Structure formats: C-alpha cells, structure tokens
Chains A and B, each alone.
Chain A
C-alpha cells in the first residue's frame, strides 16, 4: 500500500518536472471508510467506500499553485499535471514562494506513534451490528425516547508524499468510532436531545458500547425541562468536552498567516504575558495514539514539541514556510498537531464547589469570534451552578466578550481531560463573564 502510494507521488513529481516545474510536492492518498447507522431497532444506513486522490503543489519561476484530483488514469493525470504547471506560469511572481527547504526535513522523529490497529480492517458486518444493537438497546429502553440513532464509523487512511528536493514520507492511521444521538419527548413540542461518541485508532481501547450509549442518554436526560437562562455577569465553567472548541477559537489567529495578513490579535503577543498564568498550551505531535500525532507536517517540516503559551506567556506561533518568510519569522509548523492544555488539580466536582454560583457550559450553539480584535459572542447550553452543585438546565443564552480578556480571566483548570479530540483540554473556569438571556 505505502510503496504503491509512494511510487504514485514520486511519478507525479516527475511528471511536473517533465512539464517544466522547478519544484513539486505530491501526496497520494487512499482510504477506506465504513459507516453503519442504526435507528430504533433496525439498520438504517450502510456506507462502504474506498477513495483515493492525488495532491500536487507546483513551483515554477517564483510562482506557486496546488491541485487535487480523484481521476488517476495515467494519461489524464499527465494532462492534469501539465495544465497545473501552465496555470502556475500564468500567475504573478512572488519571491517568497519556495518549496520547503530540505533543512527542515532533517531530524524527523521515528517514535512509534501507534496509530494503526490492524484489526480495524477486519471488523465484520456482524461486529458492527452487535455494537449498534447494544448502543440502541440502552437508548430505546427509556420511556421518553422518540428516536435514537446509533452509529459506527471505522476506516483506514494511508498517504505518501514525495518532493523534487528529496522528501519522502508516509503516514497511516486507522480509526473506529461509535456512539448514539438520542431525542426525548419534553414539554409541548420541544424535544430534548443529546449524544456521546467514543473513538480512537484502536478498537480495544474503546469503552463498552453500552457505557457510551448510557453517557449519551444521560446527556439527553440532562436537557429535559431546559429553560432560558438569565442575563448576568458571573463565573463560567466550560466542560472539558467543549473547552477544546473555545481553545480552537483562541488559537485560530495564532499563526504567521493571520499576523502577516493583519488579522490577528496575537500580532504583538510573542514574549509577553498575554493570558492568565494558569494557561499553558503545547503543540505536541508525538503523543502515542494522539488524534493529531505525526512525524512531519503537511510541508514536510519534522515534528517538534512546540510550546505556544507557558503560564500565560506567549512563546511561539504556528509559522509555515511561506508566511514565515514573508513575515520574517522562523518556521515552526503551519498546522496544529495535538494541542495539549496543561492540567490543573481539580476534579469537575471540585471546580463546581470552587465556583459556587455561575454557569456550567456543556455545549455551544453557533456564535463566532473576530480574529483581528478577539471580540466573540457564542450561544450556549448548560446548567446553572448553585451552591457548588449542578443546577437546572438552561439554554437560549449567549456569552459575549473578548478572547484575550477571557483567557486573562482563566481562574481554574481541571484535571478531567476530554480524550476524544486533537485538542486535549480539561474543564476551564473563567471569572466575571457576560451572559445574556432573560
């Protein structure tokens, strides 16, 4: 598999060179994906697919372009690549457009990342059905259930890259996820819904389907009788499962691209104490079984441990080769691997106690943030926190503020990391946050 893809990538690079490119970078990928969806006691959907594609980046006369095709028949591929080179030549020259310097390929780690479980390829139809049935049973046994959909998603991804300046590398990983979404009858026409999924590269590391479904059902039950929350300035406890997306919004403009384009509130923050000293974020590409683990990034830069924020002080940004060259910044990597938030020492129950009264956010609904200013406003659902305990469910609320200020108000960090994500965050507590509701 890997040798096949490696050859295909190398051939594409040769075709580009033959068509007149100065340099080229190609990636050949192939994947198998299987989905089973099971609803209310019966199999509803089976999808079983094998897909492939070829990506090529072309450098010619200080010009650059990138192209992707799923049509790999040899003669049309040759035409496609010749056209790609011609497109490149029709652009304007830009001295910063260069293929990744071979120096950045050096020192590639060889750690065993343990991203492939060979048993994934052997999961049988019967096994998937059994998982579906056991997920389904937990949900449909409940009297309030209107509908429950259980899903199993598994597959394998393989890719190989080659470049005209000597890069050769491949990546493989498997995945298997299952869980369910459950809808319950609530007051009037309203439905309460919730769900939970567990997943990873390795089948044997997954919790039992019945436990996963139970968590999903509990999350749906927790929404029953939800009412609109208050307009109030108070503490916000963000559950570990949804803290990652808030961290994602914070980090979105933490890149050379955003800074160079004048669209980042991180522009002058490197080296400064910009956030609460409770905040430490590291990009760590070498975590075994990590969802973002890798030996090299999409430009071929060898994977390295990269501190982004240490005790509130900004240490590094995500810097790719092009915008790094333009902005005069040394490349780190242009794309996140595993983003790890340093843990505190409080359990969720302890965080609730510490907060006393406030809002516990368990899911976001819409909203956005302005990368240039950091201004944000997000819809949310969750619970009131009353006397250190989880109180009644609330929804139809917004939280509004500025991301830089918000992460300055980070007061407590939990030890309860949500594991099923590329961003490994625990629950977070912020002080003095503006909520709007009734």
Chain B
C-alpha cells in the first residue's frame, strides 16, 4: 500500500545522527512536459490561497492566544521532479507537490506544533488552536502587519525548474549514459537519475518579520555496473547544487561520468586494508564528512543545552592544533547546503565553530540562542512544514592549513587515504562517529601503493580533532548531493576540507590474525 509506514527509528535514535549519500533510489520528483508547462507564481501563497498580511495576522493571533515567547508560520510549496534512465530508456518520471503550513508556539524550552495542508482559514485556525494548547497563559500582542525582509541573492535563477520541460532534460540523461558506456568496454549497465525542485517558503514571525525564499535544487546521479572475468562491480557519482538547468555544462557532466567510471573500474583491483589502528589521510573535498560527524553534530546547541553532547563543557577550550579552523557557513552561493534565511526566518550566515584550535561557537536555533543569551546563528532548519526546526549544519568545512598534500603523504609510513564516501553517523554523547569509505588508497613508506575499498572508519570526535596533525592548503567543497538526517528530519548539506592527516583512527579491515 502507498501508506508510508511511520519510521520510528528517527525517534529511537535520538542522540545519534546520520549522513547519507545514495539517495538516488528514492524518487524526488520532476514535472512539466513542454506541452503543459504551468508556470508557478513567484509567491504561490498569496496568489493561490489568498494568504495575505491580514490572514497571517489573524492566524498568528489565534496561535498566540494562550501566550508565546516566539511563534512562526512556515508556509511551504515545493514542486519536485525526477527522471530515471535504466537499460537505455528514460521510462520513469515522478513529480510531487508538497504544500502546507507549519504553526509553532515557543515558550521557554517548550514547543507546540501543528500543520495543515488545507490552507483555508478554518483549517489554519484549527491548527493554530492545536499548537497553542502547549501554553496556558494570556494572549500576547500579535503583529497586525509584517515587515517583508529583502529576498536573498545566494541562488537566484533566471529560469525556474517549472519552466524546464522533459524535452530539455531527457537528452542530458541520454548523454550521460552514452558517455559512460563509451568509457570502458567492461561497462554493462548505466543508470542515470535526475532530480530538480523549486521550493518556496514564506515565514511570518511573532516579532513581525516576513521572509520569502525561493530555493531551487537539482541533482544528477550516474550508477555504473561493470563486469570483468565474471566479477561484477558497481560505482557511482553525483553532483548537486541550488542551481538551474544551465549549470549542467558538458564539462561538468563529463567530469561526473569519469568519476563514476573510475570509481567502478578501480574496484576490480582494490583490496580491503588490514584491520586496526593506523594513520588516516583524508583527501580534500568529500572528507569533510569527518567534520560533519566528529564535531558538527556535537556542536548543535540543542544537544548542548540539554547537556547530552560530549562538547557540552568545552566552550573556549583548546580542542585542536592552532592550524585547525572549522566553519559552518550557509552563505556560500549555490551550494547544496546554502540558505538565504534559515527556517525560523533569521538571516543565515557564517559560524566559526573552531577558530585556531579553540572551540568558539555552537550552532543555534532560537530556543538555544535565547537560553545561552546569544543572537541566533541562523542554524534553525526543518525538513518541511511538517516539522519544527532545530539547530542544523549547512555547509561545513575546514579552512586551509600550513602543509601540502605531498608532505602529508610523505609523512605516513603505513596508513590509508580516504577519498570517496557513502555515509556517516555519530553517537552524540560518547562522541563515537563513523564514516564509510567506498574508495581509497593504501600508503606505505610515504608512497601510494594500492587501491582499497569498502571499509568503515570509526573514531571519537574530540580525540580525532586532537589527532589532526597536518592540514594542507587545498581546501575545497564537495559537489555531491549529501543529505543529513537527525531525529527523523532530512536536510540538504554541503561539506569540504583540505587534505588532512589524522594520526590514528580505527580502520575496518580484513585479514585479522
């Protein structure tokens, strides 16, 4: 049946968080054949539902009738599209409309939440009364009018996805397949997955702000299966960004295709490394997964205000060498994790979590910022109108250090280089975290000697930070389509890092004696 069975793991795994890559198995949606391209109005709420300032004020007033320190209305309309090419045919498309409004009341650390997909006044007022039940005080003065803030410019597009027809997208998928197949005769199958979405949000807050944001997103994934002497291997690559159709240049696509083919073919020669502790070199780019798991989640202030994070008592202390600076920044144009405003209507910006080795700032939502007596860091995010926001990462990266990649490799007597990843996870309290290495290299006596594959790496966050002994000058953000899951909510994120040496981590491997 199409009923989605409720996923309880999200609740049960509270205190742990996961990061995943291979989302291509789920359809994310596509739309619009040329014949019927029905352009979406820029602010569909006003146009389609008659939600204007007065409506928002009326609902807000009902929402705060029993008291509130803060409250917000989060209107969302998302049109998503996806296409799938398998066995040479683009024979499946999906599309979706996700529309609704989330209503939230906050009193101290308490949250009341409701949503409705029926944007009529009676339904919105009923949802407001449900959300307000958490409170039991007197009404607060709700704004009669809201002050519209300027729209951000981090991912402005000239052509929204709703105006791009399947006839334009289809040749891209065919091109990917053709180029991948041509790269190696051992390639038996190529699958290509396309996703795009136009998300529009409008946030009205109790303090009178009105924020609108159009958040485009796209992702292209290629999966390659090759056979050699009866052995089969699969590999993939993908690229994602808050971008428009014109972003998909031939050069960009070919680079992705080559990555997928290289990652697949190298597995025929790759070995599992020996098991145990050893120095680990993290290649620049996607290895930012280390930061996401080892420190990023532990710095989300909801865990710290509850005292459940291993970083709860470390603010202002030295946690790493002076050449280690770790940043979470939403204001990087067009990145998958970029945001003009967070999902509480605060301007999203740049938060330095570790500066020259010193722990500097948590990532806050409104609730934690108020509790710590600080301004918001613009880190309050939510998956959709169905969820209340919490502190989340956006684009997490480490800044350049004083070493070079060659120096780092030369410094390792026996260890590995990690290059591509599928997923990671962290256990917030104990600080243990892992990431799964799909492709990498063995390093012996300062030289790269053999390809490796399929090993999980496990470490402890604060211990790993201390063990970052070298940082190169080649920082870059990964272009892959990462999705972060926490308490059952998924949000798009980006990550990056320069080449880094961690002096000791535990590498999953075989050949244990």
Chain A residues within 8 Å of B433, by CB: 365-366
**What's the least CB distance linking A292 to chain B, in Å?**
8
Chain A residues within 8 Å of B29, by CB: 67-68
Chain A residues within 8 Å of B427, by CB: 193, 365, 381
Please tell me which one of the listed residues A96, A189, A381 contacts residue B432 in the complex, with CB atoms under 8 A apart: A381
Cα of A42 to Cα of B108 in the assembled complex, Å: 11
Known: A45-B113, A262-B227, A373-B232. A191 touches B130 (CB 8 A): no
Cα of A92 to Cα of B167 in the assembled complex, Å: 11
Chain B residues within 8 Å of A151, by CB: 11, 14
Cα of A431 to Cα of B510 in the assembled complex, Å: 14
Cα of A66 to Cα of B27 in the assembled complex, Å: 9
**What's the least CB distance linking A184 to chain B, in Å?**
8
**What's the least CB distance linking A121 to chain B, in Å?**
15
Is the C-beta of A97 less than 8 angstroms from some C-beta in chain B? yes
Is the C-beta of A278 less than 8 angstroms from some C-beta in chain B? no
Flag if B458 contacts A401 (CB, 8 Å).
Answer: no
Is the C-beta of B3 less than 8 angstroms from some C-beta in chain A? yes
Is the C-beta of A117 less than 8 angstroms from some C-beta in chain B? no
Is the C-beta of A334 less than 8 angstroms from some C-beta in chain B? no
Flag if A372 contacts B113 (CB, 8 Å).
Answer: no
Known: A52-B117, A366-B434. A436 touches B423 (CB 8 A): no
* Residue of B234, B428, B513 contacting most chain A CB atoms (<10 Å): B234
Is the C-beta of B215 less than 8 angstroms from some C-beta in chain A? no
Is the C-beta of B506 less than 8 angstroms from some C-beta in chain A? yes
Is the C-beta of A368 less than 8 angstroms from some C-beta in chain B? yes
Cα of A88 to Cα of B509 in the assembled complex, Å: 47
Is the C-beta of A202 less than 8 angstroms from some C-beta in chain B? no
The interface bits of chain A over 179-190 (1 if a CB of B lies within 8 angstroms of the residue's CB, else 0) are: 101010010011
Chain A residues within 8 Å of B510, by CB: 400-401, 434
Q: How many residues of B contact A (CB 8 A)?
A: 114
**Residues of A in contact with B, size category:** 35 or more
Chain A residues within 8 Å of B117, by CB: 51-53, 70-72
Flag if A189 contacts B462 (CB, 8 Å).
Answer: yes
Please tell me which one of the listed residues B12, B15, B87 contacts residue A179 in the complex, with CB atoms under 8 A apart: B12
Cα of A46 to Cα of B15 in the assembled complex, Å: 19
The interface bits of chain A over 68-85 (1 if a CB of B lies within 8 angstroms of the residue's CB, else 0) are: 111110001001101110
Within 8 A of A (CB), among B117-164: 117-118, 127, 130-131, 133-134
Chain B residues within 8 Å of A232, by CB: 512
Is the C-beta of A55 less than 8 angstroms from some C-beta in chain B? yes
Known: A43-B110, A83-B33. A379 touches B425 (CB 8 A): yes
Is the C-beta of B422 less than 8 angstroms from some C-beta in chain A? yes
Within 8 A of B (CB), among A24-44: 27, 29, 31, 33, 39, 42-44
Flag if B432 contacts A298 (CB, 8 Å).
Answer: no
Flag if A366 contacts B435 (CB, 8 Å).
Answer: yes
Please tell me which one of the listed residues B2, B93, B309, B388 contacts residue A29 in the complex, with CB atoms under 8 A apart: B2
Flag if A261 contacts B191 (CB, 8 Å).
Answer: yes
Cα of A94 to Cα of B91 in the assembled complex, Å: 6
Flag if A366 contacts B277 (CB, 8 Å).
Answer: no
Flag if A79 contacts B114 (CB, 8 Å).
Answer: no
Chosen A-B contacts, 23 in total, with CB atoms closer than 8 Å, are A31-B3, A43-B134, A44-B109, A66-B27, A69-B98, A72-B117, A90-B166, A92-B91, A97-B92, A161-B2, A186-B429, A189-B431, A193-B430, A365-B425, A365-B427, A367-B508, A368-B436, A372-B232, A375-B453, A377-B508, A396-B458, A400-B272, A437-B506
Q: A46-B111, A48-B114, A226-B430 are in contact. List 4 more A-B contacts (CB 8 A).
A: A155-B6, A189-B310, A189-B312, A437-B277
Complex A-B, nearest 9 residue pairs according to Cβ-Cβ distance, in ascending order:
A398-B508, A191-B429, A366-B434, A94-B91, A436-B275, A366-B425, A27-B2, A90-B33, A377-B508
